[in-house]
A and B are shown apart, each in its own frame.
Chain A
Amino acid sequence: MNVEQLAEQLKRDSLFMRDVVRWETLPQKSAVYGEFPLGLDTRIQPLLKQRGIHRLYSHQAEAIETVLRGEDVVIVTPTASGKTLCYNLPVLSAITARPDTRALYLFPTKALAADQAHELYELIEGMGADIKTYTYDGDTPVAARRAIRQAGHIVVTNPDMLHSGILPHHTKWVKLFENLQYIVIDEIHAYRGVFGSNLANVLRRLIRLCAFYRSKPRFILCSATIANPGELASLLTGRPVTVIEKNGAPSGERHFVFINPQVINRQLGIRVGVLKTAERIASALLQNNIQTITFCKSRVQLEVLTRHLKDITRDVLGNAERVRGYRGGYLPSERRDIERGLRDGSVKAVVSTNALELGVDIGALDACVLCGYPGTIAALWQQSGRAGRRQSASIIFYIASSAALDQYIVSHPDYFFSQSPEHALINPDNLYIMLSHLKCAAFELPFEAGESFGINNSADEMINYLCNNDILRRVENRFYWSAEDFPASEISLRSASAENFVIIDITDAVRPLVIGEMDRYAVPMLLHQNAIYMHEGRQFQVERLDFDACKAYVRHVNVDYYTDADLNVSLSLLDISEETTNARGIRRHSGEVKVTALVKMFKKMKLDTGENLGFGHITLPETDMHTTAMWWTLPLDAAQPYTNDALQGGMLGIANLLRITAPLFLMCSPRDIAVVYQVKGSFTELPTIFIYDNYPGGIGLADKAFSLGELLLEQSLSIVSDCACQNGCPSCAGPVGEIGLEGKAMAGVILCQMIER
């Protein structure tokens, strides 16, 4: 059976259809082509013809035209729409025309960089041109580095390497900096929050050095579908960027099937497991020889599902090999092998973690099974984009678990289909982040008086601060780095604070292994004694936390619960930047706060269902953090009619709902923000609900939440009123045990009271 026939059969299967909450069919779309841009080197077009590319899609042609006009550009297109040509063609053309030309490619991960370099090699080989492309990262042998610095036309690297390996040593890269014409940054939607704020500052440093070497590079950026690609692109680059988002690539008919497995415990809102449902669907696809990718959220899920699928196909002909697992941690050669198998069709089913979500080239498949919500709508589109042939039909199954976000998506499919509402947020002017990079910049090149750092950011104030701290020295009108340190080594681009905790795996007592790092601010919540820490899908239990030495010792475990620490937070006001009152007398504020956090206990929660399995105590010192926040206050008379308990339960319910909706609309991980309610606010004296950025200095999340107006409240209300549970469940206001019998109802009542319309 092909995809169409299978779809018809499923539609007639009443047992299957019982769980289907929405079946959406997107019609097929034919290709839109554009003129071949005249400005490209004449050697390029014959090469494309040789590779079977006779015409360019409209978005490719438009992107290339824009680049050739000298504009900075961001291309927003779905998976497999041929976006790499949008940057490879102008770059290769420029190098062919003037062999001194250099280009820098940035990818968020090493694996992706290696992949793209590989694709480039093939293209260049086809051209028969002498264009040298190298990946430059931590794995590059020292012996090869000199050649790369001197002779690499295209240097493919990641932001971390640019930050600590290239910029501080720019004098060794004179050729690159003097001749840098294009900076290509792919997957820019991955650069949000702290990572993006850091990258924006790394790019400020890069541009500053280019100015020193008198080169004026242009940016070519690519992004998955998000609400604000243009804004993100110009925040990252500090320039206006032209957005190209009309996709000209064709696609076949696509079926989206939203599945919500049956409830088996109505009280607790527990449903049939995702894995069981996924297993059934993936087996059916496999038996019909439909090439399928299944995305799992954990390594354990992946291994279980892979084993099951292998079991049902195992025979003497070795057909079990048609089923493969794919995740980080597999050897590169093994991964290449699987990717090849997917492209040539010898692998029929692959079970993957999000390792295959980003641009790794596996061609287009027929079907995609998604075990739960991957965290953002952009990722959901990217994962489902793995299925989608240009000519024939494809089918995508989204299976919801009992988790709150999963349930939100499955009961609001329109949220997925309508124009992407997610904003990728960054704050390049976060004082902590900017100051760290200003130090790096001063190390790389002395500052001149009056010089700016970023758009409209005079650096004077920060420079004075660094002078007063004897890190810079002013001589006449220039500021020189005057310290022994190597400032780039003090920043990790992927986390907020300089003081990181090291996570050490002591499962093998003889050979302890450092497996990760964590921000100081997140440590009390996530690495307290007995916490379950997840790393690359594996579970670890914290055996000991040495707070003074900044070390956490963990041991590998296999348990069916996760831990959730209870944070006692008090907030004090530093500054109010904006406030507004609606017709109901509800005030909404944004500003800066000091958060004093104390973690005293944690809960053990069952995986999947979120059931509470018990408590534990934590003894740790208080931590202080300055960050940005937004908060709502209820006027006293609005709260008057309710008992303290009712108010408490209702506000907790609203806080729980905001924890679901805020990450959705702010495109962040639930850990990036904190939602706190106080029946009598620390400084407001009124019932207050706070949302603040869980990073020192803030990364723009609370500001955005403020500017969303009442959207978060409206969405929260719709969840709580649409949820079928009686008195609250983990998918809406929270379980009864937590919010009380009246909690769910009260949350609804108070929300109605807060919303203007």
Chain B
Amino acid sequence: MKTRLEDKLMAMAQAKQKTAPCSKGVLEQERAISVSHFPDVHDNIACALSSMGNNDFTAIGPSARILFMDTETTGLSTGAGTVAFLVGIGYINNGMLTVRQYFMRDYNDEPELLNRLKCILPHFDILVTFNGATYDLPLLKTRFLMNRMDPEPFMMPHADLLHMARRVFKLRLRNCPLSRLEEWVLGVHRTQDIPGMLVPERYFSYLKSGDLSLLDDVFIHNQQDIVALYGLMSTLIQMYEHPQTVTHHQDIYSIGLALEKKKQYERARACFSLALNGDCAYQSLNRLAHNYRKTGEYCKAAEVFKRMTQHHNSGVEPYIELAKLYEHRFKDDDKALEYALQAARILNGDGLGDALPVQAAQNALQCRCDRLLRRVKSGEEQQHGVHGKHQGA
């Protein structure tokens, strides 16, 4: 997979060198790139993207048209003096990814470049970027305003894959730059990639010399980023749709958390169940139990909390949760007291010291124990003889 992509890119770079640079006007070039090595995307992308982030795209309907976008700029700040000299877009056409790049040969090409963007955007329903929410989109909006154009076209629905990827991979990869995701998630290794920080300098050198070949690897870099955007989106969708195919348990667990946040409890539960054998087994049990509790399936919740108590690094939480369940849901004060006392034993004996949260937990627990004890005692006084039966249960 890796070599095929690389060959293609190299071939393309050579092909481009042959195109004679014209001296004026926006340079526009288009390539159709095979993306068959990435997972297939089923047709309801809007729905899939909706479960992955904060935005809800479901209103768009099943056949949403997706536009990928990435920019190369003359600096890192989003101030008014930074320009996007190369804007790459991508969309699926006849099973291939069409990548189109708009390039400013000089600063006075900008209005034309923005105009072409403005014309293309309305043909799509969702804009997909990587970190576009904080970088590319504010910058392009600024460019529109600087050219006295209405930035309204950018008000379209937007999915930022950085935020979506961060939800899934942050446990495993900590920070998630695109290059790292490409390598670790998509398995693509770029060999001759230009570091992003060198890009502005290349453009300035090109402006001075007029030698477009200076920007060859910038064009490739931008194109690769767009391919990676597609790859990342389809991979993420695949992972959400078929968590059983995901290799790393941490990722599955994270997907479960994300789904839980979107109140998709059934799907979240499936993820937590899948993650029970890996590094996050205990957390998964914990989420699973809470999940059952939220949907009102208290028996199942209690069952999972009990499984947690058998776990080797079980803490005090499942005991407290069980005490709560037995007190409030099952109305079984004896059992509740039993779990509460057990929790208190752990909390007092685990050597955590007098850290404030521990103290708070201890105090809360003490209240619970006292209350239960009072109730159990008064219950005993009222109905003598039931005592033994309860103990045996």
Q: Which residues of A contact B (CB under 8 A)?
A: 168-172, 174, 442-446, 470, 473, 475-476, 478, 480-488
Of B14-22, B47-55, B70-78, the one with at least 4 CB within 8 A of chain A: B70-78
A-B contact pairs, 7 of them (CB 8 A): A169-B79, A171-B146, A446-B107, A478-B107, A482-B207, A484-B201, A487-B81
Residue of A nearest to B75 (CB): A484
Whether A168 contacts B204 by the Cβ 8 Å rule is no
**Number of residues in B with C-beta < 8 Å to the partner?**
22
B108 within 8 A of A: yes
Say whether chain B's binding surface is mostly helix, strand, loop, or mixed. helix
CA of A514 to CA of B138, assembled, Å: 33
A170 with B80: CB separation less than 8 A: yes
Which of B80, B106, B141 is A168 in contact with, Cβ under 8 Å?
A: B80
Q: Which of B81, B201, B208 contacts A481 (CB 8 A)?
A: B81
Q: How far is the CB of B113 from chain A (nearest CB, A)?
A: 14
What residues of A have a CB within 8 angstroms of the CB of B107 in the complex? 446, 473, 475, 478, 480, 482
The proximity string for B residues 123-156 relative to A, scoring 1 for CB distances below 8 Å and 0 otherwise, is 0000000000000001001100110000000000
Bound Cα distance A487, B207 (Å): 20
Q: Are B207 and A473 in contact (CB under 8 A)?
A: yes
B200 interfacial contact with A, CB 8 Å: yes
- B74, B80, B142, B146: most-surrounded residue (chain A CB, <10 A): B80
Q: Are B145 and A171 in contact (CB under 8 A)?
A: yes
- Chain A minimum-CB-distance residue to B109: A475
Whether B204 and A475, one on each chain, are in contact in the complex, defined by CB atoms closer than 8 angstroms, is no
List the A side residues contacting B76 at CB < 8 Å: 484
A478 to B107, CA, bound (A): 9
- Smallest beta-carbon distance B145→chain A, Å: 4
Residue of A nearest to B199 (CB): A484
Closest to B205 in A: A470
Complex CA distance for A718 and B147, rounded to whole angstroms:
63
Minimal Cβ-Cβ distance residue in A for B201: A484
Kindly state the separation between the CA atoms of A488 and B79 in the bound complex, as whole angstroms: 10
Contact of A443 with B81 in the complex, beta carbons under 8 Å = yes
- Residue pair A484, B207 in contact (C-beta under 8 Å): no
Are the C-beta atoms of A171 and B74 separated by less than 8 Å?
no
Task: Name the contact of A470 in the complex, choosing from B145, B146, B200, B204 (C-beta under 8 A).
Answer: B204
Q: Which of A169, A470, A475 contacts B80 (CB 8 A)?
A: A169
CA of A480 to CA of B77 in the docked complex: distance in angstroms?
Answer: 16
A443–B74 CA distance with the chains assembled, in angstroms:
12
Residues of B within 8 Å of A481, CB to CB, are 81
Q: When the two chains form their complex, are residues B74 and A482 in contact, meaning their CB atoms are under 8 A apart?
A: yes
Q: Which residues on the A side are within 8 Å of B75 (C-beta)?
A: 483-486
Q: Which residues of A contact B80 (CB under 8 A)?
A: 168-171, 443-445
Q: Which of B78, B106, B138, B146 contacts A475, CB < 8 Å?
A: B106
Contacts of B146 in A (CB 8 A): 171, 445
CB contacts (< 8 Å) of A485 on chain B: these are: 75
For residue B141, which residues in chain A have a CB less than 8 angstroms away from its CB?
171
The residue on B at minimum CB distance from A174 is: B145
Expressed in whole angstroms, the minimum distance between the Cβ of B316 and any Cβ of chain A is 35
A171 & B81 in contact (Cβ 8 Å cutoff): no
| A174–B142 CA distance with the chains assembled, in angstroms | 10
Q: What distance in Å separates the Cβ of A490 from its nearest Cβ neighbour in chain B? A: 13
Looking at the complex, which one of B78, B83, B207, B208 makes contact with A169 (CB distance below 8 Å)? B78
Residues of A within 8 A of B77 (CB): 168, 486
A477 to chain B: closest CB distance in Å?
A: 10
Residues of A within 8 A of B207 (CB): 473, 482
With a cutoff of 8 Å between Cβ atoms, the chain B residues found around residue A488 in the complex are 79
Complex alpha-carbon distance, A481 and B203, angstroms = 13
Task: Give the distance in Å from the alpha carbon of A278 to the alpha carbon of B22 in the complex.
Answer: 81
